[in-house]
Every structure is written in C-alpha cells, then in structure tokens.
Amino acid sequence: MSFLILSYPARVETFRKVFARDFPDLVFAGSLDEIDPVDVRYLMAWTFPDDLAAKFPNLELILSVGAGIDQMTGVEIPAGAKLVRMVEDGVTSLVRDYVVMSVLGLHRDLPAFLDQQRQEIWKARDFVWADQRRIGILGLGELGMAAVNALRPFGFKLSGWSRSLKSIEGVDCFAGDEGLKAMLAETDITVCLLPLTDETRNILNAEFFDMLPKGAGLVHAGRGGHLDQEALLDALDSGQLSGAFIDVTNPEPLPAGHRLWSHPGIVLTPHIAGHSRPETAAQATIENIRRHLAGENLKGSVNPALGY
C-alpha cells in the first residue's frame, strides 16, 4: 500500500509525521521523486494532472485536500477509483466561523458603517432584531449544518435549500426550483455553501437576486463559479441588495482594478473561509483509508455523476 500527497511542504511534513506515528505500515511519499506512480494506491492533492489515469493507473482513492472536488471536472480518473473530498473539523469550524461573522456583519449593517467610517460620517442606522431576521442557507451538507447549528443561538429565523428535501428541527427546508423561489422570497440574508456542479454554476445571478426582498444581503463562501459578479454589482448599485461578504471570485486572484475590490457594499476576503487543518486532516485521511481497507463507507465520498 502506498500513499502520495502533493501539497505545500509544511502540510506534507505534518502528514508524514502523523502517518509515521499512526499508520507506519503504509508507504508514505511527499513527492513524485519518492515513489513510482504505478505503485500509488492513494493520491491526495488539490490540483490533479490531466493525465491522472495514465500516470496513476492503480489508484483506488483520489482524495482532495479541501472540501471541494470541482477541480476534478474534466479529469479522467482510473476505472474503479473513488473520489473523496475532505471532511474534517478544521474546514468545518473555519467555514462555520466565517458564516457567523458574515451573517452578523450584514445583520448589523457593517458594510454601510465601514463606508461611513471611510467618509468620516457619524450616523446611526436603523436595525432589525435577530428574531425578525430571516437567514436562508444554500446547501445543507456538513458545512451547511455547521452553519445552521452555529446560528441557532442568535434567534434568527432559519431556512435551508438542498437538492433533495430534508427535515431539520427548527429549519424551514426547501428543495427544487419552486422551493428555491419560495425560500428566497422570505430570505433577508442568503448564505451560499453549495458545491459547484453543472446545476449550481452561475446560480447567483440577476434572476436569483430579483427573487430576494429588496435590501437583502449575500454571504458567498461556495465557489467563484456560482456567482455572476456583474449581476451582483448591478444588484448592489440598484439597492436590490444592501451588502455582501464575498470570499470566492472568478478568476482568483481577483484582477487589479475590478469593482469587487472597491464597491462600498462588499466585504471581500481572499478565499479564506475554509482551510483544512493538517493535523486533523491527516487523521481524517488515515481513518478513510482504514475504512476503505475494511470495505466500509467513506466519509466525504463523492458521486461523480452529481459532483459532490
């Protein structure tokens, strides 16, 4: 058995130490110089080569270092190999924190106050009580549920939308196109945590923003491909949206001079909402390999037909 991780040196060395301690029987490699690709059974990376199937013909598991797997779109995988996204506490806790920060920032009108600060304007603004604020979460998987549970104590009215209808205590759940329309009509702050698939690409577009109540807010921590950036700017300029926290763009890095950098209604962060923690990610990876060897279900297993 052999495991190859292609990542930055600090992550590789953390994985190497954890694997040596907890899974010493597995051959570990941190670069292609350390192993013959034909011998690799388990491959972890973020960016995978286009000739993956030809270079690693005996792969059994293809593991993403992050929570997403959309970077595999168009990459041919070896027959029989399984795709696995990262599910571990580090990613989940960081995304949870980012969502709470952003929702509270929009709830208390932070983008407008930041703009007033830049203009040296000392002026109070109207506010809404938390139990009158409606939060709609797109995506009710691991990350979406972490966000739901973190937002509960504030008293917000919570709703959620997913591909298939779910039942969650204290959350109004919706599914399908009609369900999305119904939820958005009653949503003050939308949180996007969707995977990027053919169905969700460009979902945050002009039609989407028009379905929201005037003055709504957006928290986008999904993927850059979800968002029509010009439609967002138009919605902010018209007042249809009052503010947005944006963590992902297309392309990344965002080009100099783009209006997302300077729009007063946007708080922009450089794709930092979630990041796997090397120590816990290594433990989660070891657990999944052991599950694979035992013929058990894998955490984060991806259905290639669905894209998540």
**Tens digits of pLDDT across the chain (308 residues):** 899 999 999 999 999 999 999 999 999 999 999 999 999 999 999 988 888 999 999 999 999 999 888 887 778 888 889 999 999 999 999 999 999 999 999 999 999 999 999 999 999 999 999 999 999 999 999 999 999 999 999 999 999 999 999 999 999 999 999 999 999 999 999 999 999 999 999 999 999 999 999 999 999 999 999 999 999 999 999 999 999 999 999 999 999 999 999 999 999 999 999 999 999 999 999 999 999 999 999 999 998 777 77
Q: Which of 220, 223, 226, 292 is catalytic?
A: 223
Helix (H) or strand (E) holding 5: strand 2-6
Q: Which CATH number fits domain 90-268: 3.40.50.720, 3.90.650.10, 3.40.50.2000, 3.50.50.60?
A: 3.40.50.720
Neighbours of 286 (CB within 10 A): 18
Q: Are 92 and 145 in contact (CB under 8 A)?
A: no
Contacts of 69 (CB under 8 A, 6+ apart): 83, 85, 195, 302, 307, 308
- C-alpha–C-alpha distance, residues 39 and 27, integer Å: 10
As assigned by CATH, the class of the 2-88+276-302 domain is alpha beta
239 phi, psi to nearest 5 deg: 90, 0
DSSP category for residue 289: H
Looking at the chain, which residues constitute the CATH 3.40.50.720 domain(s)? 2-88+276-302, 90-268
Residue 274, φ and ψ in degrees, nearest 5? -135, 145
User: Measured between alpha carbons, how far is 271 from 250 in angstroms, rounded to an integer?
Assistant: 11
Residues 42, 3: contact at Cβ < 8 Å?
Answer: yes
Angle at which helices 9-22 and 278-293 pack, to 10 degrees?
50
Q: What is the pLDDT of residue 199?
A: 93
- Report if pTM > 0.95: no
Q: What is the pLDDT of residue 303?
A: 86
**Closest-CA residue to 264 (of 121, 118, 104):** 118
Residue 220 known to be catalytic: no
pLDDT of residue 164: 93
Structure tokens at 228: 């029509």
- Per annotation, catalytic residue among 16, 163, 271, 291: 271
Tell me if residue 271 is catalytic: yes
- pLDDT on residue 1: 85
CA torsion sign, 144 to 145 to 147 to 153? Answer: positive
Q: Which 3 state secondary structure label does DSSP give 231?
A: helix
